[in-house]
């Protein structure tokens, strides 16, 4: 391979930057921040050619790099992107820059903060580009650690509880997924005689539907926790509320997408029969999540928690789209993943701005802010509108495609999901009214400053993106098309092929109930 | 005859063992233990393990128990207090488990030996004598264990010294 | 000219962008010029485009312009495109025309408001959205405009955000509209999965072959879309937001909540009339809801004292007429009324704005009276518009409303006709009650504090233009029965009465209960004049006059009577005065119910059940650990005991294994 | 068969270490000074010499000393694990002993003697050699546990000794029964007997013998319910010795466990496997549960080591070559991460005050960033987080379980791992998420350059085997080939 | 006449059990030590008996080595007793319980 290994560069630049950070002067926060910014910007710049050079007509993996890693286990360093991961990678590099900028106000332990941020970026990108299950798992878990620290060290009052909840919730899921990975590779080994974690190889492995059920369940659990799907969502509000602003942005913007990405990349194409058979169940959970998240968001008294619950609702939409099993739904789901990253990310940034000024996020502490912070209000309302899916802004495109797809798959699900449209307007606008409108009564709020240049600096790109992605989504959707069509075709093809397979008696394969071995 | 002797010394050995765990005074226990050891030595003899018999008497019943008794005297240990005699819950449980263990250890008796496997036949012993035979083994086949034991004793020595010495 | 139709929405958007981003730094004059200029430019383009359109042969009067592909997923492709045909040409003319007038009016009305540039930004933005709505070439673009106008409505109702109630009204408007959108979206999905596209022209062309007349699918589609319409156009059951929407500045009420946005639902039905015609059940529902709303809102308007609220309920009522028209299949009549209503209701609202302006923001009619001598222009224009809405010939309202009632009768919707007919008298009554209470009789305001004065020329000028339109606006649609040419009908016929659909109409009507007569009448509309038409016309004129007389009697001749009557039928009066408590019922059932459910889900399900399970597991595990920890007593013989226990267990296990 | 010169090749590493031990004792006896730190480096030099002789052992299995000692990849692999443990322990001990004012050559000699015992355990192919090696190691460790002579030291030594001797009795009884059943205690000989004599697989003598041998192993590896000594002894012993015990003893015990059971008793795998299944589950669950309730870091690590024994028992239960690979790599990882963690614990203490209470760790992470980083690394490795060595070990063990259809075992294993996260994270919480009090218990770091070096070595190992585990995995795979 | 193997093994089991029971029931550390010795002795008996019946020297050699081990253990054990007595002033096992939980 003579080409530049762009993916590896994008993945490991932040890590290299983090290592350098270790050797920079701890007492010079300006330098540390500048360095972190430089690293993230360079990463973003390096990642942009991915978009430009991405061939939208090709369904397969592009920018592939493949080196053996642990030969005895068939583990490879194998990365590549397709239309599914392309934009998530770009979203990650983009949001990382935004986050570093938005963290300019951090004063406590700047070096460690930036270090964890860059580490997190490596973890996220790595997980998105991995095409080897082992490699993926490594990055997948690697993401946890920096996030754990970001919440735990720079978080709010209940940060310890939130951090540990976040960590253990995720860990339980991913460990069960690890078992499924092991089983999968073993079955592959038994079938083909090759021990490999190569995802694309494993795609081709025919699996009896009942075997798929179990493996899918394990994968789905891990990803559903990450998404998070109802009823596995309760770590999210805590984590979001306690995390520092940039942490929330990354959490909402990218980490949650790892869950949906996991479904797209792993759980569904590896186990299409299971995905297909469980689809009603998953859709039901998604719909419950949509409505439940929205309802619970409505009665929150803390702005950040409200936004967090709104994420539950929005991610419900994404999941609904994925399990619609049609191009509209899946494309919508993927697109909505990006949108949610932008709009909810921006919402968290906005809440952070407010928190920095007032050190409270309780809705009751505000009111009438529009008078003193007109620009802020304007941005907030734009993002709100994006979040509730106003046509012309990004949220709508995704939501529309999702519901369109879902409607084709299951009318009741789509009908119920569409109530989310009403509810999201209700909780967001009610919050907006209470925070920004009405008389400016609280004295503490009288002197609040409007957005400053730095805040404009990181909010403006987000706002522009909401418009761009809402008005002219073509450049995004077009690059997903071929991949998703191939994806759906693969799903269907493999599903049909596997349907015919004999279903082994799983209990007979099970070993290790005590006493059983001796009985034979 | 052998059998009768075995039974007699077996009873003695058990009596000694019971003495070890029943005697209130440690010195009595030690004496009982010596009794058991001697009885066992005789039983070894009955099994044609003359060399072991000697070692048992000299090293075990002699040297080791001497050391024990010495320490008992050194620390001026008397009979144990009131608590010793009482049967507490854990003790009862211990007795019960001990009984169970004893029963389980009898289970192997159900097995038959699969046959002769060794070269220490009466024949060979008559030819070279048991001590010589063992010595040959010890310095031939069993050289490695023998060397390890020297290490073990060194470790025991150094260990005992480091622990027992007031200041190093 | 047609290829420039994209400019029609573009100009206001540009205006909104400029004023929105930089308006704060401009002097007011510049803001004015940008706002009014941009909408005026679109008006000019609209006129030009309409003339070009008129130049084409009747059956080729449409022009579609695709700007770019908007949403695409595989073969699904939805374009952002504009469609100009006679129907949308009427709409853009109304929107840009009335819109321009109201912009001009606002320059006077809002001149002292600190949020001047913000106001015009929103107003321009609204025009952009509304124009997108009416020009959209597919359902989704229509929906973009649909939501866009909702957003602007939200922003403008809550324009004076410092008043919590006003902000709440904006929010209410948006959310209630969203309920309607819910239906609209679902309707769209049904269409998409049936037709594979959302293009108006394709759908309308394929509908007769793809759908079954009176079938469940088309009924579902149309009913869901109608749900959207009830939200946007304030029909039962989603009308409650509109009266509250009067919290916004009066020009907004005039433009958005009277002349344009609220008629979007009517326009939408007109746009998709092919589908509606195939769904007789829906038609009956639409007609009934429309007629009921017309009467119901009128019944509330009778007792209201807030000048804008009366007008708001009147708007709801008039919209009800329009829906009745759509429901009975008289699409042209519906659109006709839409247009005339835009003129006179804008005039009324702006007049009321002028009154409020002159009365220092007083809105309660009980504190007015005798204003005609202080503000003659306002008075005269207001009176003209009132006559127009009451439906006296030859003013605009007469022709449009009468056509609706006649068509309802003629198409066999007798019950709906009756409701509408009653409502006509009620309308006359409450509108003249308004006029009498405001401009006539005793001066009931406090002379020390309130010095009523006429508004500036920029406002009265606009009033006169609109009053003029209220007079002549109906003349384009004088029915043949009265010897008119009914240009309006002919203009819209290619869209709303496509000949190819005649057969479908007939079949649909045959399937419908009330539509037998209509089936006969549909084809021969223009040629045949039923004598009943004249009888009904006369009856309604007399009836309206009776209503006016009653108003005169109660509020000018015997002003003490209303109170007495109110006291006598207190129950009924309170019911009407309190808007039949619908808001309260909605609040209790839906809002409070929703919040209670949400609180339950959060406080109980989330915190107690799920987190309880999660934390509970943790707690149980940890206390288990704490309990097991107690086993570690520190006594070595205890350890030996557990050891022995284990050894016995292991030995026992192997003993058992050996035994078997 | 008698002694041949060629056998010395197998014994060269042991001889090197033994000679070093004797040398240390000699130097100690004749050197007047109080500073004896250099003896640690002398010992390390000895280990280096041993390491020099070790690579030659990789390759096909060679039996020496009448089939009592094996020279094979398996043994060599463990030698290297033990060298690593030894070197790190010695490095850490040097500064630790200086700080505790207990610099004595006997300490290093005992460490080396124990090391020889451990190495012999890993290589023993005869139960007698194994037993003697075990005792050599144990006796040295008993003494080391009480080395600093504090109350806790002595108590630890006492408890370990008494229970150790008690367990030896059971182990020996088991060996006797196996001897009785087979007539030999050479592992391959036992295997042959099991293979030939059909009755042996159900012989009560053989089976109960195996059972009692399991009891003996279970005690050494600290499996529930034979674990009770572990927390007390680990907590009471000098921390450097704890590190040595936790890793070296465990590695040696598991090496012997694997060798004995994979070489001698595979014929009855179906009999002992279910029992070990239960032991494994009980061990990891108990270890994790009680670790959750600990507030003392050292004691918490002791319970965590019980849990780790549980995961390792999974490997024994499964009993395949893959499982063997898992055990080897796991122990390699475990050696680095656990010694590392204990070294960090040492560094945070000071003379007369160990500072092992969690409260003492408040804010430590930011006050001592490198130490915090290292400790976090070790803890994450123990959790099994990639890309650390701990993950690779767990991965291989669970992979072996899954491959053989032991799904429940794997599931319970990972659920346990998830639970364990809580107490490992708690240390991190204290280190990073809490601010240090006004007058922190930890004033500075001790252990000196050697301690730091030990921590760095451990950290490097944890990372290296996490990031490029390929060659270690391959060595382990090769090593277990000669086992059966 | 040969002593039946089962006789010796039974005796061995009894002695071993008595040793175990002693470890569990006595308090005095030195007695505990002696009980452990008793257990080792019991095992030795098994070895000797097996050696005799198998005509194998290994059993006897085991006994030799075990005696050596026992001696070393006794030395270390007694040293610990002395050390305990010095630091805790007790020879009772149940009083040595500083470390627990």
Taking the C-alpha atoms of A327, A328, A330 and A334 in order, what is their torsion angle to the nearest 10 degrees? 130
**β-strands A62-70, A75-81 pairing:** antiparallel
* Interface size, chain B vs chain E, as Cβ–Cβ contacts under 8 Å: 242
CA distance E16 to E14: 5
pLDDT class for A515, splitting at 50, 70, 90? very low
In chain B, residues with a C-beta closer than 8 Å to the C-beta of D114 are 155
**Residue C511 above 90 pLDDT?**
no
Q: What's the pLDDT at B167?
A: 67
Q: What's the pLDDT at E18?
A: 93
- pLDDT tens readout for residues D54-103: 998 888 888 888 889 999 999 999 999 999 999 999 999 998 988 888 88
**Among residues 86-115 of chain B, which lie with CB inside 8 Å of chain D?**
104-105, 107-111, 113-115
**Among residues 380-409 of chain A, which lie with CB inside 8 Å of chain C?**
381, 385, 390-392, 396-397, 400-401, 403-404, 407-408
> What global pTM score does this model have?
0.91
Q: What's the pLDDT at C529?
A: 63
Interface residues of E toward D, Cβ cutoff 8 Å, are 9, 16, 19-20, 23, 29, 32-33, 36, 39-40, 42-43, 46-47, 50, 54, 56, 58-59, 61-62, 65-66, 69, 72-73, 76-77, 80, 83-84, 87-88, 93, 96-101
Cβ separation of D172 and E16 shorter than 8 Å? no
pLDDT class for C521, splitting at 50, 70, 90? very low
How far is C-alpha A452 from the geometric centre of its chain's CA atoms? 29
In chain A, residues with a C-beta closer than 8 Å to the C-beta of D270 are 517-518, 520
More reliable by pLDDT, C532 or D402: D402
Q: What percent of chain D lies above the pLDDT cut of 90?
A: 64
Q: What's the pLDDT at C206?
A: 87
Q: What's the pLDDT at A514?
A: 44
Q: How far is CA A69 from CA A6, D474, E20, in A?
A: 19, 12, 53
- Residue E81 contacts C where some CB pair is shorter than 8 Å: no
In chain D, residues with a C-beta closer than 8 Å to the C-beta of B152 are 117, 132, 135-136, 139
- Of the residues E22, E96, E97, E98, the best mutation for testing chain C's interface (the one with the most C CB atoms within 10 Å of its CB) is E97
Cβ separation of A159 and D433 shorter than 8 Å? yes
Worst-scoring range by mean pLDDT, A162-176, C358-372, C477-491, D429-443? C477-491
Tokens for C111?
């001149």
Q: What's the pLDDT at E62?
A: 93
In chain D, residues with a C-beta closer than 8 Å to the C-beta of A112 are 366, 369
**What are residue D353's phi and psi, to 5 degrees?**
-145, 105
In the numeric block, the tokens 């996991």 are attached to A262
Shortest CB distance from D154 goes to which of E9, E50, E87? E87
In chain B, residues with a C-beta closer than 8 Å to the C-beta of C637 are 90, 94
pLDDT class for C524, splitting at 50, 70, 90? very low
CA distance A203 to A192: 13
- pLDDT tens readout for residues C88-110: 888 889 899 889 988 888 888 88
**Among residues 124-153 of chain B, which lie with CB inside 8 Å of chain D?**
140-145, 148-149, 151-152
In chain C, residues with a C-beta closer than 8 Å to the C-beta of E99 are 634
Exposure class string for B26-38: b at 16+ Cβ within 10 A, else e: bbebbbbbbbbbb
Exposure class string for C25-35: b at 16+ Cβ within 10 A, else e: ebeeebbbebb
Closest among C160, A326, D259 to C168, alpha carbons compared: C160
**Residue D16 above 90 pLDDT?**
yes
Shortest CB distance from B37 goes to which of E21, E41, E53? E41
**Residue B37 above 70 pLDDT?**
yes
Q: What's the pLDDT at B114?
A: 63
Cβ separation of C648 and B105 shorter than 8 Å? no
3-state secondary structure of C281: helix
Residue A64 · residue A107 · CB < 8 Å: no
**Residue C526 above 50 pLDDT?**
no
The residue of chain C nearest to residue B98, with distances taken between CA atoms, is C644
- pLDDT tens readout for residues C240-255: 888 888 888 888 888 8
More reliable by pLDDT, B110 or D147: D147
Shortest CB distance from C637 goes to which of E93, E99, E100? E93
CA distance C461 to C457: 5
- pLDDT tens readout for residues C380-397: 898 889 888 888 878 888
* Interface size, chain C vs chain E, as Cβ–Cβ contacts under 8 Å: 27
DSSP C579-612: GGGHHHHHIIIIIHHHHHHHHIIIIIIIIIIIHH
Shortest CB distance from B101 goes to which of C638, C644, C658? C644
CA distance C416 to C424: 12
- Tell me, yes or no, whether chains A and B touch by having 3 or more C-beta pairs under 8 A: no
Touching chains, E (3+ CB pairs < 8 A): B, C, D
- Tell me, yes or no, whether chains E and A touch by having 3 or more C-beta pairs under 8 A: no
Cβ separation of B141 and D133 shorter than 8 Å? no
Residues contacting C15, CB < 8 A, separation 6+? C34, C35, C37, C38, C39, C120, C124
Cβ separation of A403 and C185 shorter than 8 Å? yes
Q: What percent of chain A lies above the pLDDT cut of 70?
A: 97
More reliable by pLDDT, C355 or B80: C355
Q: What's the pLDDT at B117?
A: 66
Compute the average pLDDT of residues D194-207.
Answer: 83
**Residue C514 above 50 pLDDT?**
no
3-state secondary structure of A207: coil
CA B145 to chain E, closest CA, distance in angstroms equals 8
- Tell me, yes or no, whether chains B and C touch by having 3 or more C-beta pairs under 8 A: yes
Compute the average pLDDT of residues A22-35.
Answer: 87
**Among residues 34-93 of chain B, which lie with CB inside 8 Å of chain E?**
36-37, 40, 43-44, 46-49, 51-52, 55-56, 59-60, 63-64, 67-68, 71-72, 74-75, 77, 80, 83-84, 90-91
CA E93 to chain C, closest CA, distance in angstroms equals 7
In chain D, residues with a C-beta closer than 8 Å to the C-beta of B146 are none
- pLDDT tens readout for residues A217-237: 999 999 999 988 988 888 998
CA E75 to chain B, closest CA, distance in angstroms equals 6
CA D394 to chain E, closest CA, distance in angstroms equals 28
Q: What's the pLDDT at B50?
A: 87
The residue of chain E nearest to residue C628, with distances taken between CA atoms, is E101
**Residue C28 above 90 pLDDT?**
no
Compute the average pLDDT of residues C123-133.
Answer: 91
- Residue A72 contacts D where some CB pair is shorter than 8 Å: yes
- Residue D389 contacts B where some CB pair is shorter than 8 Å: no
- Residue C70 contacts A where some CB pair is shorter than 8 Å: yes
Q: What's the pLDDT at B84?
A: 56
Q: How far is CA A8 from CA A12, A77, A79, in A?
A: 6, 10, 8
In chain B, residues with a C-beta closer than 8 Å to the C-beta of C648 are 97, 100-101, 104
pLDDT class for B80, splitting at 50, 70, 90? low
For helices C611-629 and D269-292, what crossing angle results, to 10°?
100
Tokens for C471?
């007079």
Cβ separation of C651 and B110 shorter than 8 Å? no
Cβ separation of E99 and C634 shorter than 8 Å? yes
In chain D, residues with a C-beta closer than 8 Å to the C-beta of B17 are none
CA distance E73 to D165: 8
């Amino acid at each position: 391979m003579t080409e530049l290994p762009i993916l590896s560069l994008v993945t490991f630049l932040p890590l290299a930057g983090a290592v350098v950070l270790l050797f920079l002067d701890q007492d010079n926060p300006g330098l540390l921040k500048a360095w972190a910014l430089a690293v993230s910007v360079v990463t973003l710049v390096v990642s942009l050619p991915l978009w430009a050079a991405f061939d939208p007509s090709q369904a397969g993996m592009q920018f592939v790099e493949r080196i053996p890693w642990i030969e005895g286990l068939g583990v490879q360093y194998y990365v590549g992107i397709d239309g599914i991961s392309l934009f998530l990678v770009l979203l990650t590099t983009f949001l990382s820059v935004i986050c570093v900028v938005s963290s300019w106000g951090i004063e406590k332990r700047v070096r460690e903060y930036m270090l964890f941020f860059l580490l997190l970026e490596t973890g996220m990108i790595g997980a998105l580009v991995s095409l080897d299950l082992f490699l993926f798992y490594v990055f997948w878990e690697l993401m946890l650690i920096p996030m754990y620290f970001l919440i735990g060290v720079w978080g709010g009052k209940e940060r310890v509880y939130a951090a540990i909840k976040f960590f253990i919730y995720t860990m339980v899921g991913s460990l069960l997924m690890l078992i499924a990975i092991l089983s999968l590779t073993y079955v592959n080994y038994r079938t083909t005689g090759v021990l490999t974690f190569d995802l694309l190889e494993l795609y081709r492995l025919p699996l009896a539907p009942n075997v798929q059920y179990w493996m899918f369940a394990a994968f789905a659990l891990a990803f559903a926790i990450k998404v998070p799907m109802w009823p596995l969502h309760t770590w999210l509000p805590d984590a979001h509320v306690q995390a520092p602003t940039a942490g929330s942005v990354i959490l909402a913007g990218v980490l949650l997408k790892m869950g949906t990405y996991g479904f797209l990349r792993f759980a569904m194409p590896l186990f299409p029969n299971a995905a297909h058979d469980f689809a009603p169940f998953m859709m039901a959970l998604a719909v419950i999540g949509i409505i439940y998240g929205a309802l619970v968001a409505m009665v929150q008294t803390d702005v950040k928690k409200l936004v967090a619950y709104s994420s539950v609702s929005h991610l419900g939409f994404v999941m609904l789209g994925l399990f619609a099993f049609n191009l509209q739904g899946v494309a919508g789901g993927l697109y909505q993943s990006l949108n949610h990253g932008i709009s909810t990310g921006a919402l968290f940034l906005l809440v952070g701005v407010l928190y920095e000024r007032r050190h409270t996020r309780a809705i009751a502490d505000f009111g009438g802010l529009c008078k003193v912070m007109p620009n802020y209000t304007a941005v907030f309302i734009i993002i709100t509108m994006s979040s509730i899916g106003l046509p012309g802004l990004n949220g709508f495109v995704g939501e529309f495609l999702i519901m369109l797809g879902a409607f084709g798959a299951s009318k009741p699900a789509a009908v119920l999901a569409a109530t989310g449209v009403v509810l999201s307007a209700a909780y967001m606008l009610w919050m907006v009214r209470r925070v920004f409108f009405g008389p400016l009564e609280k004295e503490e709020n009288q002197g609040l400053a409007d957005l400053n240049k730095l805040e404009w600096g990181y909010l403006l790109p987000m706002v522009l993106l909401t418009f761009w992605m809402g008005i002219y989504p073509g450049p995004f959707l077009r690059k997903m098309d071929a991949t998703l069509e191939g994806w759906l075709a693969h799903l269907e093809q493999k599903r049909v092929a596997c349907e015919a397979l004999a279903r082994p008696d799983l209990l007979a394969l099970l070993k290790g109930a005590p006493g059983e071995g001796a009985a034979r | 005859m052998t059998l009768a002797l075995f039974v007699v010394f077996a009873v003695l050995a058990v009596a000694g063992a019971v003495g070890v765990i029943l005697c209130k005074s440690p010195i009595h226990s030690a004496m009982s233990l010596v009794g058991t050891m001697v009885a066992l030595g005789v039983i070894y003899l009955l099994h044609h393990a003359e060399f072991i018999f000697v070692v048992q008497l000299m090293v075990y019943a002699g040297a080791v128990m001497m050391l024990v008794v010495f320490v008992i005297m050194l620390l001026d240990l008397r009979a144990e207090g009131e608590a010793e005699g009482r049967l507490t819950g854990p003790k009862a449980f211990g007795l019960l488990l001990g009984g169970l263990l004893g029963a389980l250890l009898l289970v192997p008796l159900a097995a038959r030996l699969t046959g002769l496997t060794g070269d220490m036949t009466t024949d060979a012993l008559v030819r070279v004598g048991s001590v010589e035979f063992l010595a040959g083994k010890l310095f031939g086949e069993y050289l490695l264990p023998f060397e390890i034991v020297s290490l073990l004793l060194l470790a025991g020595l150094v260990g005992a010294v480091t622990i027992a010495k007031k200041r190093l | 000219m047609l290829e420039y139709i994209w400019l029609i929405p573009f100009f206001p958007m540009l205006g909104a962008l400029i004023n929105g981003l930089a308006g704060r730094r401009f002097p007011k004059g510049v803001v004015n010029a940008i706002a009014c200029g941009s909408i005026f430019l679109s008006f000019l383009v609209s006129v030009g485009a309409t003339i070009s359109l008129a130049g084409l042969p009747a059956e080729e009067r449409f022009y579609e312009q695709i700007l770019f592909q908007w949403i695409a997923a595989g073969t699904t492709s939805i374009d952002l495109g504009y469609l100009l045909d006679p129907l949308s040409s009427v709409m853009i003319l109304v929107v840009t025309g009335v819109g321009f007038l109201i912009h001009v009016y606002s320059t006077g009305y809002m001149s002292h408001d600190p949020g001047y540039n913000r106001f015009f930004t929103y107003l321009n933005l609204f025009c952009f959205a509304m124009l997108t709505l009416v020009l959209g070439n597919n359902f989704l673009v229509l929906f973009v405009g649909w939501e866009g106008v909702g957003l602007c409505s939200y922003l403008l109702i809550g324009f004076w955000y410092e008043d919590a109630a006003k902000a709440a009204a904006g929010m209410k408007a948006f959310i209630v509209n969203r309920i309607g959108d819910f239906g609209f979206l679902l309707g769209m999905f049904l269409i998409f999965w049936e037709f594979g596209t959302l293009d108006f022209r394709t759908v309308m062309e394929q509908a007769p072959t793809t759908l079954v007349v009176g079938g469940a699918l088309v009924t579902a589609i149309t009913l869901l879309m109608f749900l959207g319409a009830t939200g946007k156009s304030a029909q039962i059951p989603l009308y409650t937001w509109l009266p509250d929407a009067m919290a916004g500045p009066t020009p907004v009420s005039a433009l958005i909540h009277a002349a344009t946005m609220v008629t979007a639902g009517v326009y939408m039905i007109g746009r998709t009339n092919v589908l509606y015609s195939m769904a007789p059940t829906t038609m009956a529902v639409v007609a009934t809801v429309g007629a009921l709303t017309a009467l119901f809102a009128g019944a509330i308007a009778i007792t209201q004292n807030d000048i804008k609220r009366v007008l708001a309920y009147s708007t709801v009522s008039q919209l009800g007429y329009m829906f009745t028209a759509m429901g009975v299949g008289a699409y042209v009549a519906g659109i006709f009324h839409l247009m005339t209503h835009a003129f006179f209701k804008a005039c009324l609202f702006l007049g009321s704005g002028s009154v409020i302006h002159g009365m220092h923001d007083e809105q309660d009619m009980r504190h007015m009276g005798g204003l005609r001598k202080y503000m003659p222009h306002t008075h005269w224009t207001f009176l003209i518009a009132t006559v127009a809405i009451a439906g006296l010939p030859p003013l605009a309202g007469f022709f449009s409303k009468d056509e609706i009632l006649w068509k309802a009768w003629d198409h066999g919707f007798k019950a709906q006709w009756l409701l509408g007919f009653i409502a006509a008298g009620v309308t006359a009554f409450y509108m003249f009650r308004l006029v009498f209470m405001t401009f006539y009789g005793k001066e009931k305001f406090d002379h020390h504090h309130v010095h009523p004065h006429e508004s500036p020329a920029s406002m009265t000028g606009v009033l006169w233009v609109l009053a003029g339109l209220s007079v002549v606006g109906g003349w384009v649609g004088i029915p043949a029965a009265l010897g008119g040419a009914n240009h309006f009908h002919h203009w819209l016929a290619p869209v709303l009465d496509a000949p190819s659909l005649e057969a479908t109409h007939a079949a649909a009507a045959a399937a419908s209960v009330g539509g037998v007569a209509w089936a006969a009448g549909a084809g021969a509309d223009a040629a045949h004049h039923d004598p009943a038409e004249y009888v009904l016309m006369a009856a309604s004129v007399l009836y309206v006059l009776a209503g006016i007389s009653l108003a005169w009697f109660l509020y000018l001749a015997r002003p003490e009577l209303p109170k007495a009557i109110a006291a006598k039928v207190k129950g009924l009066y309170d019911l009407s005065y309190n808007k039949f408590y619908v808001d309260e019922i909605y609040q209790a059932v839906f809002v409070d119910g929703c919040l209670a459910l949400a609180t339950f889900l959060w406080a109980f399900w989330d915190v107690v059940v799920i987190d309880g399970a999660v934390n509970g597991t943790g707690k149980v595990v940890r206390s288990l650990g704490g309990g097991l920890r107690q086993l570690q007593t520190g006594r070595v013989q205890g350890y030996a005991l557990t050891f022995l226990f284990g050894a016995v267990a292991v030995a026992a296990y192997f003993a058992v294994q050996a035994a078997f | 068969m008698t002694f041949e010169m060629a056998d010395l090749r197998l014994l060269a590493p042991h001889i090197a270490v033994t000679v070093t031990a004797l040398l240390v004792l000699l130097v100690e006896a004749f050197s007047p000074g109080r500073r004896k730190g250099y003896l640690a480096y002398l010992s390390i030099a000895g280990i280096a010499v041993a390491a020099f002789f070790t690579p030659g052992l990789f390759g096909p299995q060679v039996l020496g000393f009448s089939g009592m000692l094996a020279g094979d990849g398996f043994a060599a692999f463990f030698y290297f694990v033990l060298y690593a443990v030894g070197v790190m322990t010695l490095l850490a001990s040097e500064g630790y002993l200086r700080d505790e004012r207990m610099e004595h050559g006997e300490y290093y000699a005992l460490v080396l003697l124990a090391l020889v015992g451990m190495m012999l355990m890993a290589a023993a192919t005869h139960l007698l050699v194994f037993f003697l090696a075990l005792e050599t190691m144990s006796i040295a460790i008993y003494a080391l546990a009480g080395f600093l002579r504090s109350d806790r030291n002595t108590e630890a030594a006492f408890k370990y000794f008494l229970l150790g001797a008690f367990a030896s009795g059971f182990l020996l009884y088991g060996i006797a029964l196996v001897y009785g059943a087979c007539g030999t205690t050479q592992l391959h000989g036992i295997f042959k007997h099991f293979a030939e004599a059909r009755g042996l697989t159900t012989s009560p003598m053989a089976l109960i013998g195996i059972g009692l041998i399991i009891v003996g192993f279970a005690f050494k590896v600290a499996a529930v319910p034979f674990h009770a000594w572990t927390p007390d002894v680990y907590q009471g012993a000098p921390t450097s010795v704890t590190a040595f015990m936790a890793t070296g003893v465990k590695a040696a015990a598991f090496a012997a466990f694997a060798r004995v059971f994979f070489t001698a008793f595979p014929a009855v795998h179906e009999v002992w496997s279910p029992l070990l299944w239960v032991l494994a589950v009980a061990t990891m669950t108990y270890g994790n549960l009680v670790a959750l309730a600990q507030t003392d870091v050292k004691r918490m690590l002791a319970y965590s080591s019980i849990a780790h024994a549980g995961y390792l028992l999974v490997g024994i239960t499964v009993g395949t070559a893959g499982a063997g690979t898992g055990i080897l790599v796991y122990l390699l990882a475990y050696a680095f991460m656990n010694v590392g963690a204990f070294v960090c614990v040492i560094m945070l203490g000071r003379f007369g005050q160990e500072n092992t209470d969690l409260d003492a760790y408040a804010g430590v992470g930011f006050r001592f960033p490198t130490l915090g980083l290292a400790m976090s690394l070790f803890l994450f490795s123990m959790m099994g987080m990639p890309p650390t060595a701990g993950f690779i070990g767990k991965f291989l063990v669970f992979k072996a379980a899954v491959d053989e259809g032991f799904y429940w075992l794997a599931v319970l294993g990972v659920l346990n791992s998830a639970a364990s996260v809580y107490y490992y994270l708690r240390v991190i919480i204290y280190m990073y998420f809490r601010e240090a009090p006004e007058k922190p218990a930890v004033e500075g770091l001790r252990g000196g350059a050697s301690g730091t070096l030990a921590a760095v070595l451990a950290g490097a190992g944890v990372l290296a085997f996490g990031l490029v585990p390929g060659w270690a995995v391959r060595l382990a795979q090769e090593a277990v080939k000669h086992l059966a | 006449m040969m002593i039946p193997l089962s006789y010796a093994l039974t005796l061995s089991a009894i002695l071993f059990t008595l040793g175990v029971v002693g470890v569990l029931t006595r308090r005095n550390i030195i007695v505990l030590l002696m009980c452990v010795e008793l257990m080792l002795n019991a095992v030795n008996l098994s070895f000797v008996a097996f050696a005799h019946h198998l005509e194998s020297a290994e059993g006897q050699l085991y006994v030799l080595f075990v005696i050596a081990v026992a001696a070393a253990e006794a030395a270390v054990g007694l040293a610990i007793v002395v050390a305990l007595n010095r630091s805790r002033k007790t020879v009772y096992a149940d009083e040595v319980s500083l470390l627990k939980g």
